């Protein structure tokens, strides 16, 4: 059994480092182009593997923080990736049952996490739980408003989901590996640096327009280019 957990740990480290180095590449290249899409997919699957192996590893070392950051990172990566398939909600009110269920379960799980954090007075757990609950609630509100989304709402969701997943992964790495940084800064510094970057990207997207034809099937097509 120890061999299994050792292999799981190595896979987790490999996937985590892959995600760390790939995310800046996806951000740096032209958005919507083939290079961005390629490295974006690599990042998503790296986070999926890193999050899944973290769930397994957290059970082995009995780390609640690692468990919750894995859940948060997986959820946010899925949120960012799924947004690429929800561009039609700008004109179509049809929301899949799958999306309602995932967001609903996410809201319950993260609200439970916040409740635990309050009782245990655990700041890191409370921060991730609050951000997760706010994201799930925003998803549900967005689904209720389907058909009236702005043309670039899916892109705002895509950016915030993927970058939040990245921040959570870096936070977990910092807490478990960067022992020279004192608590709670070992947990907080990725959020303090990452949230302004998310806000900057979202302001940039809101200030531009997205050309999106309602009749186009975009599930497998590149994201439309942003235009001033």
pLDDT in tens, 8-22: 989 998 998 899 899
* Residue 217 pLDDT: 38
With the CA atoms of 220, 221, 224 and 225 taken in that order, what torsion angle do they form, in degrees rounded to the nearest 10?
120
Where do the structural domains in the chain lie, given as residue ranges?
A: 2-210
Separation CA 144–CA 217 (nearest Å):
22
Confidence of residue 62 (pLDDT cuts 50, 70, 90): confident
Q: Is 63 left (phi over 0), alpha (psi -120 to 50) or beta?
A: beta
* Residue 205 pLDDT: 82
Separation CA 48–CA 70 (nearest Å):
9
What is the residue-averaged pLDDT of the chain?
85
* Residue 209 pLDDT: 62
* Residue 162 pLDDT: 94
* Residue 221 pLDDT: 42
pLDDT in tens, 190-226: 989 998 988 888 888 886 665 554 433 334 444 444 4
Average pLDDT over residues 174-189: 87
* Residue 134 pLDDT: 94
Separation CA 58–CA 66 (nearest Å):
6
Q: What is the pTM of this model?
A: 0.84
* Residue 210 pLDDT: 57
pLDDT in tens, 65-121: 788 888 999 999 999 999 999 999 999 999 999 999 999 999 999 999 999 989 988
Q: Which residue, chain included where needed, has tokens 């999926």?
A: 48
Length of the chain: 228
* Residue 211 pLDDT: 52
* Residue 105 pLDDT: 96
Confidence of residue 122 (pLDDT cuts 50, 70, 90): confident
Q: At a CB cut-off of 8 Å and minimum separation 6, what does 156 contact?
A: 202, 205, 206
DSSP 116-161: HHHHHT-HHHHHHHHHHHHHHHHHHHHHHTTT---TTHHHHHHHHH
Tokens read off for 34: 């083939």
* Residue 140 pLDDT: 96
* Residue 110 pLDDT: 95
């Amino acid at each position: 059994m120890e061999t299994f957990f050792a292999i799981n740990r190595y896979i987790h480290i490999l996937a985590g480092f892959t995600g760390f180095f790939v995310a800046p590449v996806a951000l740096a290249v032209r958005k919507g182009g083939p290079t961005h899409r390629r490295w974006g997919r690599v990042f998503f699957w790296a986070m999926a593997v890193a999050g899944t192996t973290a769930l397994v590893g957290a059970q082995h070392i009995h780390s609640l923080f690692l468990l919750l950051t894995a859940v948060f990172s997986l959820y946010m990566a899925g949120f960012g990736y799924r947004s690429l398939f929800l561009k039609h909600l700008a004109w179509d009110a049809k929301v899949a049952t799958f999306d309602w269920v995932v967001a609903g379960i996410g809201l319950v799980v993260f609200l439970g996490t916040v409740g635990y954090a309050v009782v245990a007075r655990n700041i890191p757990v409370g921060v991730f739980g609050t951000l997760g609950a706010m994201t799930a609630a925003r998803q549900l509100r967005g689904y209720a408003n389907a058909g009236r989304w702005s043309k670039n709402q899916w892109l705002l969701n895509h950016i915030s989901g993927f970058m939040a997943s990245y921040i959570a992964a870096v936070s977990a790495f910092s807490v478990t590996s960067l022992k020279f940084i004192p608590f709670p800064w070992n947990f907080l510094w990725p959020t303090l640096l990452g949230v302004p970057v998310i806000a900057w990207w979202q302001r940039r997207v809101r200030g531009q327009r997205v050309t999106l034809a309602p009749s186009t099937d975009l599930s497998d097509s590149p994201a439309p280019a942003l235009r001033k």
